Amino acid sequence: MRRLITIVAPVYNERENIELAHRQIEAIHEERLADRFDLEVILVDDGSTDGSTEILRRLAVKHDHVRLVILARNFGHQAAISAGYHYANGDVIVTMDSDLQHPAEKIPEMVTRWQEGYDVVYAVREADHGGFLKRWCSRAFYRVFNLFSPTKILPGSADFRLITRQVRDALNQLPERCRFLRGLIPWLGFRSTEVTYTPRPRMAGEPKYRFFHSLGLSVTAFTGFSVAPLRGLLVLGVLFLLVSVGYLVYCFADWLTGGTVVRGWPSIVALIVLTQGLMLIAFGIQAEYLAKIIQEVKQRPEFVVREVVGDIREQNRVVRDTPEQPAPDPPTTEPTSAQEAET
């Protein structure tokens, strides 16, 4: 029996790159995989506004192996990938960006590593790319995250990876809405390996994932996989307590010997400003954790599907698949209301 490979590609305002990316995926499949595997391509439109939706729709109508999942609005990169995972039918699922920076030529190598017995195959960048600030922040993030989190992620890894259906099913059972897939998949603990690749330059268009998007994803990563910031506040509080006690002992000893401790207001004002600043930082860190708790407690779906174009299997026609409360089956071509998606 022939096996199925699913390619999941989130799309947000990539009208210049979509068709070329699809042709490259088709070419690699025909040249190196078609004799053993069937192909399914799931394109997730994450609220595009530049005409990408019409191009995606034409691809889904023209090609039997192309499926289109249109989200009701822009829910973000991680949510779009999760939507693709929910609709994927493949024995293995490869996620890659639609801007052509993830080389499709690496897919056969990833499939080979899967056939060797690995459940997860990460594609890791051979070298950093982008400007100096982006490279420095990327290296700092991976080092700090792996230092303070019990879940380790590969430096240079992104969302270009292969997972098996078993990993996908385990991932879909996780209830959290604020997702950091680069941490969730290693947390599952399946056997994994890596391949290296060199990112390609963008063919057209501007990067959609900018600095503040990366910063927001970093905050989600730390608040979801590490309590080190909260424990750091405790250590900082104890440290300031010891400094305060030591200063009181010094003042008392100086008073006994007839000395003068207070020489002016500047030192007092500086100390007040410092402590107030630290308190605000502490409140901000706590607020980030509280915000994530509020989002999880609300249990809103991670994404809402407006329309599905293509022959998606009945068992995968879901908006949010949870063991406790499975979502209803949306029709293949008819829009799905937000109320039905949240049911």
Torsions phi, psi for 240 (to 5 deg): -65, -35
Helix (H, G, I), strand (E, B) or coil at 162: strand
DSSP alpha helix (H) spans, the chain: 18-32, 52-62, 77-87, 107-115, 132-148, 165-172, 181-188, 211-225, 228-256, 265-298, 338-342
Residue 328: the pLDDT is 43
Same domain, 149 and 244: no
Q: Which two tokens stand for residue 171?
A: 């991932």
Residue 150: pLDDT band (50, 70, 90) is confident
Is there a single domain that holds both residue 304 and residue 286? Answer: no
User: Do 101 and 247 reside in the same domain of the chain?
Assistant: no
Find, among 201, 230, 339, 336, the residue nearest to 293 by Cα.
Answer: 230
Binned at pLDDT 50, 70 and 90, residue 65 comes out as: very high
- pLDDT for 148 beyond 60: yes
Please state the φ and ψ torsions of residue 2, each to the nearest 5 degrees.
Answer: -70, 140
**DSSP 8-state symbol, 326:** P
Question: Is residue 42 domain-shared with residue 80, that is, in the same domain?
Answer: yes
Shared-domain flag, residues 178 and 265? no
Determine if residue 299 is left, alpha or beta; phi over 0 gives left, psi from -120 to 50 gives alpha, anything else beta: left
CB–CB of 211/134 below 8 Å?
yes
Residue numbers of the domain that contains 271: 228-298
Instruction: Please indicate, yes or no, whether residues 205 and 152 belong to a single structural domain of this protein.
Output: yes
Model confidence over 205-227: pLDDT tens digits?
565 555 566 666 666 666 666 66
Total number of domains constituting the chain: 2
Cα pseudo-dihedral 69, 70, 71, 74, rounded to 10: 120
Query: Tell me, what CATH number does 101's domain have?
Result: 3.90.550.10
**Do 183 and 242 sit in the same domain of this protein?**
no
Whether residues 132 and 238 fall in one domain: no
Per the CB < 8 A criterion, the answer to whether 46 and 13 are in contact is no
Whether residues 29 and 178 share a domain: the answer is yes
What is the C-alpha separation between 208 and 290, in angstroms, rounded? 28
Least confident of 55-64, 178-187, 289-298: 289-298
Q: Tell me the per-residue pLDDT of 233-284, one tens digit each, with 9 for 90 and over.
A: 767 766 766 666 676 677 677 767 766 655 554 456 556 666 766 777 777 7
